[in-house]
Amino acid sequence: MLELIREPWPWYIAGPLVGLTVPALLIIGNKSFGISASLRHTCAMCLPANIKFFNYDWKKEIWNMFFVFGILFGGVIAFSFLSNPNPIIIDGNLKTELAGYGVTEIYGMLPEQLFSWESLFTSRGFFMIVVGGFFIGFGSRYAGGCTSGHSISGLANLQMPSLIATCCFFIGGLIMANIILPFILSF
């Protein structure tokens, strides 16, 4: 049983499990799935300032905070006790392409040459980490939700704004991966 849990699950098992959280949340608690709202709830809890956006009864949404903490602790437990000890296999073509940008030490999911405290203070690292983080936060707020809220919950509820947001997320991802990222990596 432990070996089954240690291995990555195929999409046809993991996908439906994630997808079933949407109807479960709707049926059990009349709640919609999304993660970016938890940042708003956190700010409403911790910043008692008189800001209209944070002036609401956040206690009604406390379930969302438990959900996010569950994700966090589940990730910590999985990393600590269920990590696959084998090295991550990266396609040779990707290694060659990254080497062309000076990224040669790829030992994990996030190459330290791009995502570390040392790289944060380079122009490339600043754009990747700080500016990228800002755009993700801004985009989530501007779109009225994150990819999980729109692409999983919103589409399941047949909401047209979620379809538009999901299409924009996908197009933005393609532009980022194929145009903007190579430009940033060439610094």
| CA 175 from centre of chain | 18
Tens of pLDDT, residues 52-88:
878 888 888 888 888 889 989 998 988 888 877 777 7
Residue 58: helix, strand or coil by DSSP? Answer: helix
DSSP, residue by residue, 60-107: GGHHHHHHHHHHHHHHHHHHHHS---SPPP--HHHHHHHHHTT-----
CB neighbourhood size of 108 (10 A) = 11
Looking at the predicted structure, is the pLDDT value of residue 171 above 90? Answer: yes
CB neighbourhood size of 74 (10 A) = 10
The confidence band for 18, taking pLDDT boundaries of 50, 70 and 90, is: confident
Give the Å distances, CA to CA, from 17 to 3, 110, 155, 178.
Answer: 19, 26, 16, 31
Total length of the chain: 187
**Cβ contact 89:153 at 8 Å:** no
d(CA 40, CA 34): 12
d(CA 148, CA 153): 7
d(CA 149, CA 39): 13
For a pLDDT cut of 70, what percent of the chain falls above it?
Answer: 99
Greatest alpha-carbon span in the chain: 54
Tens of pLDDT, residues 86-144:
777 888 898 898 888 888 888 777 888 888 888 888 888 888 889 988 988 888 888 88
Number of H helices, E strands in the chain: 12, 0
Backbone angles phi and psi of 64, in degrees to 5: -65, -35
